[in-house]
Chain A
Amino acid sequence: MLEISGKHKEISDKDLLDTYRKTSSLEVLGELYARYMHLVYGVSLKYFGDRSDAQDAVMHIFEKLVEDLPRHEVRNFKSWLYVLTKNHCLMEIRSKKSSDQRLEGLKIEQEFMESADELHPMDREDEIIEKALKECIEKLKSEQKQCIELFYYQKLCYQEIAEKLGINEKKVKSYLQNGKRNLKICLEGKNVR
């Protein structure tokens, strides 16, 4: 575990957060941050594409956390941190006036809106929508359908799907992604959410 110490493994994010608010102990905040630091790093890596920039960003985001946390009501730390991380990366890249094409169309999300709480129906394993879902899956393009079925119903991993279909893992992921998006649209049309 990359926890800063093993002492608080059982403690929930919320409790740690409350403790931090009461004590302002950096160690407590560090403990909480350590739980998600690898995710912050991964996302930073994606945006900066450079290991040392991304590592610096992880530390900057921690400082930002120290600064911002007292001023915000945070219910779900993980998703709040996600938004904070993304915004930090985007702002940083913008301030570097990078003309990088990847950034076209990326927008800074609403300041610290609690997002990402809503799960995709596919990831919810909800009985009620099962039927509607099946119908929608049938309507998908064949690659997307195949990937969704293999992944969610036959429980294969990306690698196995890739081998089975003779495509690379990246493609598998993007079919899954697009398939899920189309499913969502389809389900919304059926008034199932």
Chain B
Amino acid sequence: MSGKNKHRSANDYLNYLKGQLSRQERHAFERGLEADPFEQEAMEGFESLSAGQAEEDLLSLHNRLRKRVSRRRRVAFYSVAATVASLLIVGTVFLKIHDFDPRSDKNQVYPEESYENFVPEEAESLPPVDKQVEKSAPVPEPVPDPAELKEETKSEKKTESRAEGEFPSGAKGETRVHADQEVEADAVEVLDFAAPVPEAGEIQKEEIQEEEITYMEAEAMDRVDEAQAARTSREFRKSKKAQGEILADQKYEAPKTVVNQLELEQMLTGKVTGIVISAEDQDPIPGVVVVNRELPSGVYTDLEGRFGISVKEDSHTTLIASFIGMETQEYLVEDGAHVELVMQPDAATLDEVVVVGYVAEREDQPTGSAFTLYQAEEEENIEYEVPEPSIGFKNYRKYIEENIRHPQEADSKKEVVVLQFTVTQAGTIEDVTALRSPGLSFTEEAVRLLMEGPPWKPASNDKGARDESVRIRIVFKR
């Protein structure tokens, strides 16, 4: 049998199209095509493309499929993250019930954390570029102290209902999913942040209900410890896997110094080869862009996740790997090495379009996430429903997905626009400000989506509605 029963993989096709096969191999391949109408017809389709286009398309399809099949698993991942987050909140509630020193619990509470998390994003905010912007957003100053004080003044009841707010039923469930996504990143941070709790607990020997406190404390600490341990082991695994040392989970920054290209190329006589794999399932990832930090050019990993890149001889080089749905990471590698670059899934880029709505800061209360929302309300002892799209977040997100237009000049894979606006009592949208945007065209598109989109329900309770400021985050992805 001239190999015609063997399955001809995408790679075989690409090799054929690229003319990389010998005559005999070509013949064998063609024999296979002749024997299978499916393959024959597929080849007719490929004839209209260049080999490069075919490769590009197959890679992009591969990525789409990969993303499609892993979506469900990711959701599961988020539920786990949400559960961890909830556990921590419950822990906080216990501590509060037992009149634990509030200073210790500030370490566990989300708002500061999410607030801190959020600030860097704020810091990047571009000057509002849109004409519709009437007043620029008050960028919160990092003043944690007042926030802490407010933390302390809150009653136990607040915290409890906040925790309950985590599990809304029915229609609100939709909202929760979005909150979870946003929370995920925070949750990881919080674990880290919560670590000092045991020490703090030891110092604060409270007078009266000491025994009980210690018990509760222990329980809460156990959870924290567990979570911490889980995280540490994950970290460990990560560092063990990556032979190329991960320098930082930073976004890729364009090389600052432009060196004479020719000169540089002459210096790049060394070579690093390797494979890029996903931390999630250890599978190779094709189509990852791997660039040398010093040189504004790079390579793609092939269908088996492999790459080879020129580096400076006998020295260390920083490589940057980026890929949709994964965190862009830097790795320090040595000339001549064969490395395994492990990429972590990027939690923020779950789907094509991520729209997360949350209430923006009110006066001096810095807020960054849905969590703080409840606090802000309860401070005034009045519960208000969050403003939300009249069709619900799930459908709103669908609307965005279906209507988003990617600006022409967009060549990056992912861009984020954060819009802040006020939903008035009457349900109109006002004071739209871009807190963050990669450029005017993105802002315009995001504002268009907002203004032309479904109406928003104002913040309301049984006493009526009120103006409320909201932020949404729109992710442009290709």
Contact = CB atoms under 8 A, between A and B. Distances in A.
Interface of A: 1-7, 26-27, 29-30, 33-47, 49, 51, 54-55, 58-59, 62, 78-79, 81-82, 85-86, 116, 119-120, 122-123, 125, 151, 155-160, 176, 180
Interface stretch (B24-32, B142-150, B227-235, B396-404): B24-32
Interface stretch (B38-46, B336-344, B408-416, B417-425): B38-46
A59 B41 contact: no
Nearest to B56: A51
A35 B45 contact: no
26 contacts: A2-B11, A2-B62, A2-B286, A2-B303, A3-B9, A5-B284, A6-B283, A7-B283, A26-B72, A30-B66, A34-B62, A37-B61, A37-B65, A38-B10, A38-B42, A41-B42, A42-B41, A42-B45, A45-B45, A46-B44, A59-B61, A116-B37, A116-B38, A120-B34, A120-B35, A123-B34
B121 interface: no
A43 B34 contact: no
Main DSSP-derived SS at the A contact region: helix
Contact of B46 (A42, A47, A159): A42
A37 B10 contact: yes
B164 interface: no
B60 interface: yes
Nearest to A46: B45
A123 B61 contact: no
Contacts of A81: 38
Contacts of A51: 49, 53, 57
Given A30-B68, A82-B37, A37 B62 contact: yes
Given A2-B303, A120-B35, A157-B27, A39 B65 contact: no
A55 B284 contact: no
Contact of A27 (B38, B44, B49, B69): B69
Given A78-B38, A82-B37, A155-B24, A62 B68 contact: yes
Given A38-B13, A159-B26, A45 B66 contact: no
A41 B45 contact: yes
Given A38-B13, A82-B38, A123 B69 contact: no
B35 A119 contact: yes
A33 B10 CA distance: 12
Nearest to A170: B47
A113 to B, nearest CB: 14
B35 A58 contact: no
B7 interface: yes
A176 B286 CA distance: 37
Interface in B1-34: 1-2, 4, 7, 9-11, 13, 23-24, 26-27, 29-31, 34
Contacts of A158: 26, 30
Given A1-B10, A27-B73, A42 B43 contact: yes
B90 interface: no
B283 A33 contact: no
Nearest to A36: B38
Nearest to A27: B69
A49 B24 contact: no
B65 A62 contact: yes
A43 B41 CA distance: 6
Nearest to A31: B69
B72 to A, nearest CB: 6
Given A1-B304, A4-B283, A58-B61, A156 B23 contact: yes
A55 B61 contact: yes
B11 A1 contact: yes
B207 interface: no
A26 B26 contact: no
Contacts of A123: 4, 31, 34-35
B44 A42 contact: yes
Contacts of B39: 39, 42
A40 B45 CA distance: 10
B64 A59 contact: yes
A138 to B, nearest CB: 20
B46 A45 contact: yes
Contacts of A55: 57, 60-61, 64
Contacts of B53: 51
B211 interface: no
B27 A156 contact: yes
Given A41-B58, A42-B46, 11 more contacts: A4-B66, A5-B281, A35-B9, A37-B10, A41-B45, A42-B45, A46-B44, A47-B45, A55-B60, A59-B65, A180-B34
B61 A29 contact: no
Nearest to B58: A38
Contacts of A180: 34
Contacts of B2: 125, 155
B257 interface: no
A151 B283 contact: no
B379 interface: no
A58 B286 CA distance: 18
